[in-house]
Structure 1
Amino acid sequence: MELSIRQLRYVAAVAQAGSFTRAARRLFITTPSLSQQVAKLERQLGVKLLDRTSAGVRPTPAGREVLARAARLLELHDEVVSLARTLGAGPEAPTAALRVGFLPGTAGRQTGRLFDELRGVEPSVSLTMKQVPWGDQLSGLLDGELDAVFARPPVPIGELPHHLVLTEPRMLVVSRRHPLAGRVEVVVADLSDCVQVEAADAPEGWRAWWALDPRPDGSRARFGSVVHSLEEMLEVVAASHEVGITPQSIADAFPRPDIVFLPITDVSPASIELVFPPGPLSRPQCALLEAVTRVGAASDG
């Protein structure tokens, strides 16, 4: 049996908060995702760890025993992560390890230039990229799995160190056969008769913002297929009359002959934020931030 540090941290957070909802906010994940991960750990262990009552969530007797031992393990894990970051930041470090989380599109049109600039700032960087899910963009920062994330708001960044990478238009993506496909651009009112794909496992606020739900006039979006990834969304759109909403960088990164991307001209732009875990930045993290700053300055110029 293989237990993950993340699952143990989730159970500890719920026990401390006394609520799945409060714990999910602190962990920067959705409440359903947190509940699923706790249930998965309980199945793995074959024992119930938390009791859900009208007064809140409390550890079971078995849960108290597990959490008492898990606390020492989590503390040791955090010490190891902190030590590794300190060593990686030192001038004697032969390589600069950097683990970066991303959603499709990463840093938009600046992605290639950004990572070229990073290697110029820190030639010894050893870069590892990991795609993060819509509903769990930031938790890898808290459990030591990631050193930085290119996140797509709205996400609960809170007091985590972060830097705005760029803003970009939101786009309506439709099949080449869709009635709107011949347009150059659209406004929100043009979506009134559209059926939209719905992002699975996404936080409610994130899903609603990207779906433009509700509309400015108070009407609600109509949803059809539920999709679990960007690639799945594009396939559903291409094969049907359902539509999706994406940032400009997806149009740049995923051009296809069977779909059309149309700017939505009367909505606020999307953004990409570079987010770091709590605490001082390591040498490779500083190098990434410097690279982002340089590329942004060059673009502004």
Structure 2
Amino acid sequence: MELRQLRYLDAVARARSFTAAALDLHVAQSALSQQVAKLERELGVELLRRTTRRVEVTEAGELVLARGRRALAEADAIAADLDALHGLVRGRLRIGGVPPIGGLHPAALIAEFGRAHPGIDITIREEVAATLLDELADGALDLVLALVDPADTAPSLTGRHLLHEELVLICAPDDPLAARKRVPHAALADRPLVAHVAGSALRRNLERVAPDGRVIAEANELETLRELVALGLGVTLMPASVVGGVPAEVLAVRPLHPRVRVPVSMLWRDHEAPTPAAAAFRHHVLAAVTGRP
């Protein structure tokens, strides 16, 4: 059994796809499949069940992954400790959450960090907040940027509140709500809603503001949500910073009454020393937010 095989197995299990896992790992799909098959033959069990639509992890696969992920985390920690011993900032950085949130532009921060530390291999994972936080707790990610309060996450996680973001209502310019200066929460009762997928912070806040609203469409991309709303399919909530520059003839943006503000946070695992790369990125983000080096 090799660490490489465990890493390949973990990637396929998370992506539920050999194709997506191969892209994430920057390896040929044939090589990845061969190594996973080799591991299955060595262990004498089926770890992944291939279907026509996706890949499912078997019961034996879950058992192997539970211990395998701990082994991978320890192996990564050894490499990080050696880097730290030699005063190097290199290695691997795995970040979850990239769309602009609040006054924070994660893509720009990551690009700046990558230019400053070319020795670090950066992996970016985009998913809903609930999934990213689960992967952070499992050790698959080093850091997550999300619209959540660190105090509301699992006990194994901690983090730093960076800033607050206001959520605003967006609707088509000819929607009756566009005629209001502010939109009371009650005005969303029984309204058709275009929502982010379940598990996202935006979906959770939309359901809190409009518990009686009717979700008629879901999307995983902010741009898709904006387009569906602009075409009059429904209304939704979105971070003010994401829609601030949209022309009024395309989309109506209105504050809520009372206003809704959500925390923007950077999260990591509690009681665990960060890798040198993760520590450097934390410092980079905090310096950008506070304006202090």
TM-based fold match above 0.5: yes
Partner of 2:103: 109
Counterpart Cα distance in 1 of 2:204 and 2:107: 32
Residue 237 in structure 1 maps to residue 229 in structure 2? yes
Residue 4 in structure 1 maps to residue 1 in structure 2? no
**Match for residue 185 of structure 1 among 177, 182, 187:** 182
Residue 255 in structure 1 maps to residue 260 in structure 2? no
1:7-46 aligned within 5 A = 41-43=48-50
Could you tell me how far 1:163 is from its partner in structure 2? 0.5
Could you tell me how far 1:150 is from its partner in structure 2? 0.4
Could you tell me how far 1:296 is from its partner in structure 2? 3.4
Helix, strand or coil: the match of 1:4?
Answer: helix
CA contact (8 A) 1:117 1:291 kept: no
Matching residue's letter, 1:176: P
Aligned-CA RMSD value: 4.0
Counterpart Cα distance in 1 of 2:56 and 2:233: 47
Residue 295 in structure 1 maps to residue 282 in structure 2? no
Could you tell me how far 1:162 is from its partner in structure 2? 0.6
Query: 1:80–1:235: structure 2 CA closer, same or farther, 3 Å change rule?
Result: same
Matching residue's letter, 2:104: Q
CA contact (8 A) 2:102 2:166 kept: no
Query: 1:195–1:238: structure 2 CA closer, same or farther, 3 Å change rule?
Result: same
CA contact (8 A) 2:146 2:266 kept: yes
**Match for residue 274 of structure 1 among 263, 266, 269:** 266
Partner of 2:206: 210
Could you tell me how far 1:118 is from its partner in structure 2? 6.7
Partner of 1:54: none
Counterpart Cα distance in 2 of 1:67 and 1:222: 37
Helix, strand or coil: the match of 2:225?
Answer: helix
Could you tell me how far 1:238 is from its partner in structure 2? 1.2
Query: 1:180–1:92: structure 2 CA closer, same or farther, 3 Å change rule?
Result: same
**TM-score normalised per structure 2:** 0.67
Deviations 1:53-72 (A, max 9, x none): xxxxxxxxxx4xx5565555
Query: 1:255–1:158: structure 2 CA closer, same or farther, 3 Å change rule?
Result: farther
Counterpart Cα distance in 2 of 1:291 and 1:240: 41
Identity %: 20
Counterpart Cα distance in 2 of 1:46 and 1:246: 33
Helix, strand or coil: the match of 1:163?
Answer: strand
1:115-154 aligned within 5 A = 115=109, 119=113, 123-124=116-117, 126=120, 127-153=122-148
Gaps of 5+ in 1: 10-39, 51-62
Counterpart Cα distance in 1 of 2:167 and 2:281: 26
Helix, strand or coil: the match of 2:246?
Answer: coil
Counterpart Cα distance in 2 of 1:206 and 1:111: 17
Partner of 2:88: 93
Could you tell me how far 1:143 is from its partner in structure 2? 4.5
CA contact (8 A) 2:13 2:57 kept: no
Counterpart Cα distance in 2 of 1:123 and 1:3: 29
**TM-score normalised per structure 1:** 0.65
Relative contact order (alpha carbons < 8 A, sep ≥ 6): 1 or 2 greater? 1
Residue 170 in structure 1 maps to residue 152 in structure 2? no
Counterpart Cα distance in 1 of 2:290 and 2:66: 44
CA contact (8 A) 1:208 1:214 kept: no
Deviations 1:235-266 (A, max 9, x none): 210111410111223224x7355112222130
Could you tell me how far 1:149 is from its partner in structure 2? 1.0
Gaps of 5+ in 2: 15-46
